[in-house]
Structure 1
Amino acid sequence: MRRTIVLVSTGALIAGAIAAAPAATAGATTAAHPRTVTVPESVGEAIAAAGARRAGIQWAACPDGWGLAAPVQCGWVTVPVDYRKPFGATIKLAVDRAASTGTAQERQGALVYNPGGPGGSGLRFPVRSASAAPLWTKTAKAYDFIGFDPRGVNHSAPISCADPTESVTGPKADPVPDSEADKRAQRKLAAEYAQGCLERTGAAMLSQMTTANTARDLDVIRAALREDRLNYLGVSYGTYLGSVYATLFPTHVRRMIIDSVVDPSRDQVWYQNNLDQDVAFQGRWQDWEAWVAKYDSVYHLGSTVAQVQAKWEALRAATKSHPVGGVVGPAELLNFFTSAPYYDSSWAAVASVWSRYAAGDTQALIDAAASDLSDTAGNISAENSNAVYTAVECTDTKWPTSWQKWDRDNTALNAEYPLLTWSNAWMNLPCATWPVRQQTPVDVRSHYGLPGVLIVQSTDDAATPYPGALETHRRLAGSRLITEQGAGSHGVTNLVNPCINSRVDDYLLHGTLDRHDVVCGPHATPVP
């Protein structure tokens, strides 16, 4: 799952992007058709998919400003806002592709990608093929690489919960509360944010921002591509989207890889998943501290985990009383440093900035961690991403409404796992006062016709802890699990590890799965 830390731990919300796309934009919501017949969602999806197959996708050069140069092409797929009303209001989803690089005989269809979130855009995926990224060369010969913006994201009728131009100019509030007054302030902000989602997005769209509907959208995209069965790669939240798709449309799956896996159990989605994240992030943080200590001759931040942690606590306390440059307080600090437990590719970069700051280079930390309030486009994109994250997770399932439960659970966790606990709580607290009906999650499990799914997971992943892969493996009969033992980066298939890379290629190119689950050693540990 994608985390943008401390969304609601600010003095004013980092929020707002644009309201739902203006009527003039291609991704906008259309007016409802006079035929307002209501049907089961499965029927509505079949109607939408049939229409999409007839229409196809009109591929053309991507719009200026999207940063997607030839040979990548872009197009649109129309889907209903509410699948119970297939002739009602619609939105257009942005899709793009890089055509397969092989011969007509080598081509096997389209490979559709989702990077996670919820709230992540997949439009950069075709660039992997267009740029001849080494890990994907063989796959690119066989498949068109397809990316898309899910409903509400980026160019696909973007939703909003607050105004990004109203961000505070100074550092945000410390996510770790010192008093009951601090907690009351955060509760107020969370409730205001939830109400802002309703006011700026509208109930009609907000109530349909669910993973199940995004899975239905994915099947309409499959039909628009004129593919009988879906080839799919999902990472992080994209694994949950894939698991839901596999449950709803088992006979529409050809090949599916899910990488860094969300636990799809109904009692996990989403409240418990986020609590489990807090524990896992603390463990991976300590892995990074051990690495920093190993290279004390480079970074000079301590030669033991305890010494590095003491310096972290001192830095955090210092930025609380005296924000660096007046702009980097504990919230900004955490937002920057959390990339280290997410991805070991960030270990050296984060350690280097910290080391330079400790040596007196204040600007290094300001440049790395301070919010750029002048970046209008970036702030709009970040707010939209946060809005979609909140909308999907809050609408997908019923959340606790008792503040006493939130307070008790997070206070207990924070005592042992303080890195992420309170910022994660504030990020999700709008779900406690969510203004539209919360759904019942899809009961993820395999059904007749689902082919073998390939699951890839590192044992020490912080964002999607390893038990989620085990549970998904149990629920999807016939799946195979590749475990990257002793590694912890989030997102494994895009890293160099021949034990994994060769199996991903074999599966996508030939449909080959090992007879049994596989344990691979870790990819190479970073070196300063």
Structure 2
Amino acid sequence: MRAPAPALYSAAGSLLLTALVAAPAGGAPAAPGAAELRGTATAAARAQAEGIAFGRCAAVEDLPADVQCGTVSVPLDYAHPDGKLIKLTVSRVRATHKDPNNSKRRVPRQGALVYNPGGPGGSGMYFPLIGVVPEWKRLAAAYDLVGYAPRGVGRSAPLSCQDPKHFYKAPSQAPTHPSESYKRERIAEAKAYARGCAKRAGSALRHYTSLNNARDLDVLRAALGEERLTFMGASYGTYFGALYATLFPSHVRRMVFDSAVNPDPAQIWYRNNLDQSAAFEGRWADFRDWIARHDDVYGLGDTAERVQRSYDRAAARLAEEPAGGKVGPGQLQGAFLTAGYYDDYWPHRAEALSKYLKGDPKPLIQQAGPHPEAAKEAENGNAVYTAVECNDASWPTDFEVWDRDNTRLARVAPFETWDNVWMNLPCAYWPAPRQEPLDVRTGPGELPPTLILAAERDAATPYDGALKLHRRLWGSVLVTERDAGTHGIAGGPNPCVNGHVDAYLLEGTLPVRRAACAPHPEPEPREHTRKKSAVPPTV
């Protein structure tokens, strides 16, 4: 399920552990995952004893001096905790103790707040910097803000599946109704990428999974000296956060699930991606409606249909002559896909499209063009994304199934459907063993109350996922941002949402079962792009 990291605004439980890992009487084999649970307990005890030696961050992290960095060792394979270890990089800014509303009041520390931005493949190393943002200052006063790079990401046993120099292919096409020859070409690329993952990672490839991400989180908790975990996960981070809540419910203090993935095992991950493609069509329509309402600014059409025609005209022109030699229809689609995640991108993307159609390609090249200097990081993120999702569950191995399902879907949701296919198709040819997804579910009294956040029109993690997670985590509370679609809403522009987050993380206070917030204001168009009536647009 493709979901880029949201903008940053964007010894307890031993009885449960024993019950889960003890072999049944009569010599019957232990339950699946028992060895991994024992291994997690071993690794967590070791990490608790060792702690994390925080100090100056490595230059490669490009973090300011007030951020501290360290590492925590986790088993590559939790079934063998004394075997090969890998190191995860961790970043931290200590609690400020400063009440932003009362300079004379010293705020007591509540512990560490660990954050994951999603992906799979996203790094949280920059998260501690968020404490200077006004919406986060109250949390930064009470908590050490802790980010980390999950296994495979950045310097945490980095994973790669191909030479980053070959990762960006620009300009590229983005056909909404691909030809048979184009499909064959993409199938060959998917097979090559899967082979590359196996060749570069070897036997370690099978250990990049969501379950291991959840186990790593418990080892990190112990290394931080936290008896119970306070965690905020966004997007994909909600999924392995939910796995953590299921595996280690008595290790949970407070958890925020921001823009929740549907955790139903039947949805992981093939069907979740189909649902995502369908939802993006609705969000693309929202964006086009917004552009149409500001036709006096952008001149792209006063209806969603006319805006679509402007977009199609730009894509056709880019197919004939890529902007700057590197922005084709594929890059255009990628840039506008990000606008489906975050509506604060809308003015910039609309301005770039408008200016391109009027003869100025510079903004579009700047926003949509590939950045070779970031190729290594991008390929690393893509490799981790691919490995985790392919390892997590079974995928159709016959392309005819993908072709049938997505051809049908593309008739009503052409915007993202085929791009999502090509992103995930290596999973059809994956060389590593597949896991059975854990059934995320907790019963009465097993888990402390948790907070789920969801925007009603979120495309990356459709709203139904939040409803499913809410039903599966006993005692959870769902806060919905109505008629809004930004992906990742904690600490954003909605004070109602932020009020619920602060009340929960600072005071442990939650609504009874559900709450709703009015949508945050839509973005304002960029005024300097407003049309001059005396100068008709050039097309």
TM-score > 0.5 by shorter chain: yes
What secondary structure, in the 3-state scheme, does the structure 2 residue paired with 1:261 have?
A: coil
Matches within 5 A, 1:129-144: 129=131, 132-144=132-144
| 451, 454, 464: which one aligns with 1:454 | 451
Aligned counterpart, 1:479? 476
Shift of 1:93: 0.3
Counterparts of 1:162 and 1:175, CA distance in 2: 24
Aligned counterpart, 1:47? 42
Aligned counterpart, 2:522? 525
| 414, 420, 432: which one aligns with 2:410 | 414
Do 1:4 and 1:335's aligned partners in 2 also have CA atoms closer than 8 Å?
no
What secondary structure, in the 3-state scheme, does the structure 1 residue paired with 2:61 have?
A: coil
Aligned counterpart, 1:505? 502
Shift of 1:426: 0.7
Shift of 1:39: 7.4
Counterparts of 2:510 and 2:364, CA distance in 1: 46
Shift of 1:437: 0.2
Counterparts of 2:513 and 2:380, CA distance in 1: 42
Aligned counterpart, 1:440? 436
1:452-490 deviations in Å (ceiling 9; x for gaps): 110010000010000000000000010000000010000
Counterparts of 1:482 and 1:416, CA distance in 2: 30
Aligned letter for 1:92? K
Counterparts of 1:392 and 1:418, CA distance in 2: 26
What secondary structure, in the 3-state scheme, does the structure 2 residue paired with 1:155 have?
A: coil
Shift of 1:436: 0.5
Counterparts of 1:468 and 1:169, CA distance in 2: 33
Aligned letter for 2:180? E
Counterparts of 1:146 and 1:139, CA distance in 2: 12
Choose 509-518 or 443-452, whichever is displaced more.
443-452
Matched, 1:394 2:390: yes
1:51-110 deviations in Å (ceiling 9; x for gaps): 000000001011113111121100000000000011111100000100001178611100
Matches within 5 A, 1:219-368: 219-368=218-367
Aligned counterpart, 1:61? 56
Aligned letter for 2:382? N
Aligned letter for 1:469? A
Give the fraction of aligned pairs with identical amino acids, expressed as a percent: 51
Counterparts of 2:366 and 2:135, CA distance in 1: 32
- The structure-2 alpha-carbon separation of the partners of 1:446 and 1:169, relative to structure 1 and needing over 3 Å to count, comes to closer
Aligned counterpart, 2:78? 83
Aligned counterpart, 1:34? none
1:479-514 deviations in Å (ceiling 9; x for gaps): 000000010000011212121111111100111111
Shift of 1:167: 4.5
- The structure-2 alpha-carbon separation of the partners of 1:208 and 1:167, relative to structure 1 and needing over 3 Å to count, comes to closer
1:269-325 deviations in Å (ceiling 9; x for gaps): 100000001111010011010100111111111111111011111211222232223
Counterparts of 1:110 and 1:3, CA distance in 2: 26
Aligned counterpart, 1:27? none
Counterparts of 1:432 and 1:352, CA distance in 2: 39
Do 2:277 and 2:413's aligned partners in 1 also have CA atoms closer than 8 Å?
yes
1:159-187 deviations in Å (ceiling 9; x for gaps): 00000113566412435454211111111
Do 2:97 and 2:141's aligned partners in 1 also have CA atoms closer than 8 Å?
yes
Aligned letter for 2:253? R
Aligned letter for 1:335? G
Counterparts of 2:231 and 2:169, CA distance in 1: 42
Aligned counterpart, 1:122? 124
Shift of 1:425: 0.3
Counterparts of 2:68 and 2:261, CA distance in 1: 31
Choose 168-177 or 452-461, whichever is displaced more.
168-177
Aligned counterpart, 2:376? 380
Aligned letter for 2:233? G
- The structure-2 alpha-carbon separation of the partners of 1:143 and 1:517, relative to structure 1 and needing over 3 Å to count, comes to same
What secondary structure, in the 3-state scheme, does the structure 1 residue paired with 2:158 have?
A: coil
Do 1:230 and 1:254's aligned partners in 2 also have CA atoms closer than 8 Å?
yes
| 111, 114, 139: which one aligns with 1:112 | 114
Counterparts of 1:423 and 1:170, CA distance in 2: 15
Do 1:231 and 1:253's aligned partners in 2 also have CA atoms closer than 8 Å?
yes
Shift of 1:449: 2.7
What is the TM-score when the length of structure 1 is the normalising length? 0.90
Aligned letter for 2:423? M
1:346-388 deviations in Å (ceiling 9; x for gaps): 0111111111112210222222212133x1xx10000000000
Counterparts of 1:167 and 1:152, CA distance in 2: 17
| Aligned CA-pair RMSD | 1.6
Counterparts of 2:376 and 2:185, CA distance in 1: 24
Counterparts of 2:178 and 2:475, CA distance in 1: 50
Do 1:344 and 1:488's aligned partners in 2 also have CA atoms closer than 8 Å?
yes
Do 2:311 and 2:353's aligned partners in 1 also have CA atoms closer than 8 Å?
no
Report how many residues are paired: 490
Counterparts of 1:432 and 1:167, CA distance in 2: 20
Q: Which runs of 5+ in 2 are unaligned?
A: 6-32, 99-105, 526-539
Counterparts of 1:410 and 1:169, CA distance in 2: 23
Do 2:476 and 2:513's aligned partners in 1 also have CA atoms closer than 8 Å?
no
- The structure-2 alpha-carbon separation of the partners of 1:171 and 1:120, relative to structure 1 and needing over 3 Å to count, comes to same
Shift of 1:119: 0.2
Do 2:314 and 2:357's aligned partners in 1 also have CA atoms closer than 8 Å?
no
Counterparts of 2:388 and 2:38, CA distance in 1: 22
Aligned counterpart, 1:13? none
Do 1:2 and 1:236's aligned partners in 2 also have CA atoms closer than 8 Å?
no
- The structure-2 alpha-carbon separation of the partners of 1:2 and 1:142, relative to structure 1 and needing over 3 Å to count, comes to farther
What secondary structure, in the 3-state scheme, does the structure 2 residue paired with 1:46 have?
A: helix
- The structure-2 alpha-carbon separation of the partners of 1:87 and 1:241, relative to structure 1 and needing over 3 Å to count, comes to same
Counterparts of 1:92 and 1:44, CA distance in 2: 16
Counterparts of 1:236 and 1:214, CA distance in 2: 14
Counterparts of 1:496 and 1:415, CA distance in 2: 35
Aligned letter for 1:152? G
